[in-house]
Chains A and B, each alone.
Chain A
């Protein structure tokens, strides 16, 4: 009996020890935790440059924009990340409303126009991207058609079943498309257009830029996505696609970043945000064809800049506030 008891106690002790060892999430305080919605290959560029410039080590996770917001919401009581990097502003607007972000005005941010940031600096923009079309050159040649250069072009019967983009409710890119149309044409006409467009759509993706590669592979003829994705994931990779922009005017995204409220490393987080405003960082955007907001930074060759394209007066604050309502209406009308 004695041996039994001793063994029982030993097991208890082992269990308790194991639990405490596993439960302890030890992380050195100088490691910055970043949650990013940028493509992992891209995020690597900026984060590694930051690590080299400042010596602060970074641990980061990549998820799509919607997933990031969902994760921050789920972790609100015990945030695991200090900085939220990338992804279009509507998610950041929603996060501000939920009280998930810490207001912070970064050093060197004088060039940020008021429409590129939250009015109380809960989030700040750091890149810019406009919606365009990716068209598969081989398909267009074979069918002897012109590339689409306007939103109305996309409704042509020749393109039936040849278009793809993402579900507006899973992708920031696709929601920007929806919000652009609604702001361009007004809500009633805008939704009529979306329903018409839906008839030409072959399928929807969950990820916003997937349609670029699909256009490149010939799975569809036209993909609707951000111009930097068309360039980075389509043209510069060697896929046979061309980028065209709609003549009526196109919407754009402000890529944002923010300090997470209650995050584990606020000081290091602020250092990162400050660094992102510098030309040192914004010059790096060339690799991914993103447009920097810092006017002194270099812009990639072939990238579409603000002045080259017909931009509508895109109000992303309005887009963020009406997101839920517009998404529900879209789902009801298209039944997708």
Chain B
């Protein structure tokens, strides 16, 4: 190796990945194999799977995941098609609203559903006058809530794919006399199939790992992520919980590998970075009207849900008394003040670390050749495929005893944040780097710069869009995470999503709503701050910006599990 610095960095990264990604997973696996009498074996698994009330959550989780994946992809596709292929007004607005579910805490949808459609919900009581009993606790409610929460993933992937399809192919079809439907059926749809497959798999993984929504709405429809958590915290059964976590991990990993190594390789879109013509967009009136209606309905539903939460946060006692009050916000800032401070501190510390680490890893994976490169890349992406519950259990098992004792510290939370949020940034970085011609960096080397100078002066500025979007998504996920961090919070470090869960468990809906509003405010300000105060000046700082990578859809879709 010519450069000891690069080698050192690679080794450090490999060591930290091993420690903070592989070792916790190994701890979970190891714990799950400890049978009742202390020996090692599969007794825990056979004992669990023998009972139908343990098999049922697994089947439920998979079934829910499949339904949500299909529905989410359909809605995401329709929405993506409407905003990219149809000449609609306000596409920016539609796009922004469609992204709301991505930047908000997971329980918001469930909260809004209860507030609107619960037995005492606003719509059920006031509008439908109690005539219809909507069963929201269970599969129906979960499907509704998760579809709304995860369709943005499909939307991002598919709008990226649709935008990247070379328009000249569709133009050619039109020139040959094909109707709109024929073009769609024979050209657009087949080219979008890898994107569709990606969305299905990504949403499936997200749904499987979903914790925040089922813990509120699942009713009798038990899902595995919650059961693993309950087995540890309700039945004090560490091996059993670990075993359920491993069982939860399997479909998730399978879907992840299928997506990464089979589907994404079959990309049919052209990757030149230069669109060869104008994107055709439909302007027939009936298409425009239909698309407009669809978009309005969808964004309307989303805005209704968020609006309900916003309004509900000002209510005294949702369902009983709709008097205006600020008491909930007082509670949030007085009792929850520590939670807000701690969350802000921990997120602000871990976000830059995540961003830089992600870029470094993307750089060495794409540009450097070394033994174990594939393994390194895979490991760094692994925490995306692993459900939060599994990660959380792994961290408390791995780090509560020598040689590394981290429970109760800020370090364990920061590390958890960094390694869980890295995959998004890494994927963005890899996608961005692959778009950039290596000859620019080679020129820099020819002129005598070493790797770090090249990285700093050439690469980083060129991939800055990916870097900044990585920062944004990392911060968002820090502030809205629940399924992993619920295991590692302590007396000294409190996180705001745990406070929301506490309020919801107490059925203090208005209070929970107030917390959610505060979280969204934090997220929006962070996006605003990062964008306006950091990114814009950087851009204006005289850097010649290369054309932004056109395949952006795939990268940002790695928002993943909460």
Contacts and interface: CB of A to CB of B under 8 A. Distances in A.
Interface stretch (B245-253, B277-285, B314-322): B314-322
Interface residues of B, number: 54
Given A60-B491, A233-B506, A238-B321, A67 B120 contact: no
Given A23-B411, A70-B233, A327-B235, A61 B490 contact: yes
A81 B491 contact: yes
Contacts of B236: 66, 69-70, 73, 94
Contacts of B257: none
Given A25-B409, A213-B507, A40 B396 contact: no
Interface stretch (A107-115, A117-125, A216-224, A305-313): A216-224
B283 to A, nearest CB: 49
> Could you say which interface size class chain A belongs to?
35 or more
Interface stretch (B291-299, B398-406, B545-553): B398-406
A240 B235 contact: no
Contacts of B51: 331-332
Interface string B51-74: 111000000000000000000000
Given A23-B409, A77-B400, A78-B405, A5 B320 contact: no
Given A22-B409, A78-B405, A207-B505, A237 B317 contact: yes
A280 interface: no
Contact of B233 (A7, A41, A63): A63
A206 B118 contact: no
Nearest to A12: B8
B18 interface: no
A335 B52 contact: yes
A238 B220 contact: no
B255 interface: no
A210 B505 contact: yes
A140 B411 CA distance: 53
Contacts of A41: 335
Interface string A231-249: 0010001111000000000
A169 B53 contact: no
A94 B335 CA distance: 32
Q: Tell me what chain A mostly uses at the interface: helix, strand, loop, or mixed.
A: mixed
Contacts of A66: 233-236
Interface string A258-282: 0000000000000000000000000
Nearest to B321: A238
B137 interface: yes
A77 B219 contact: no
Contacts of A60: 491
A239 B406 CA distance: 43
B230 A216 contact: no
B400 A75 contact: yes
A80 B490 contact: yes
Interface string B489-510: 1111010000000100111100
A105 B293 CA distance: 71
Contacts of A77: 400-401
A7 B451 CA distance: 12
Contact of A214 (B9, B234, B409, B507): B507
Interface in B418-449: none
Nearest to B56: A335
Interface in A44-78: 44, 59-64, 66-67, 69-70, 73-75, 77-78
B542 interface: no
Contact of A217 (B3, B119, B505): B119
B452 interface: yes
B244 interface: no
A331 B53 contact: yes
A335 B53 contact: yes
A107 B106 CA distance: 47
Contact of B8 (A8, A78, A169, A220): A8
Contact of B414 (A22, A61, A203, A216): A22
A336 interface: yes
Contacts of A44: 335
Interface in A274-331: 327, 331
A78 B401 contact: yes
A75 B491 CA distance: 14
Contact of B238 (A15, A35, A73, A78): A73
B142 to A, nearest CB: 13
A4 B450 CA distance: 9
A239 B317 CA distance: 8
A27 interface: yes
Interface string B35-59: 0000000000000000111000000
Given A33-B491, A78-B405, A335-B52, A206 B234 contact: yes
12 contacts: A22-B409, A22-B414, A23-B406, A61-B490, A61-B494, A62-B502, A74-B400, A78-B407, A170-B233, A171-B234, A203-B220, A209-B506
The 6 closest A-B pairs by CB, nearest first: A213-B507, A170-B234, A22-B411, A67-B233, A203-B219, A66-B234
Interface of B: 3-5, 8-9, 12, 51-53, 118-120, 137, 215, 219-220, 230, 232-236, 238, 316-321, 335, 396-397, 400-401, 405-411, 414, 450, 452, 489-492, 494, 502, 505-508
Interface of A: 4-5, 7-8, 11-12, 15, 22-23, 25, 27, 33-35, 39-41, 44, 59-64, 66-67, 69-70, 73-75, 77-78, 80-81, 94, 167, 169-171, 203-207, 209-210, 212-214, 216-220, 233, 237-240, 327, 331-332, 335-336
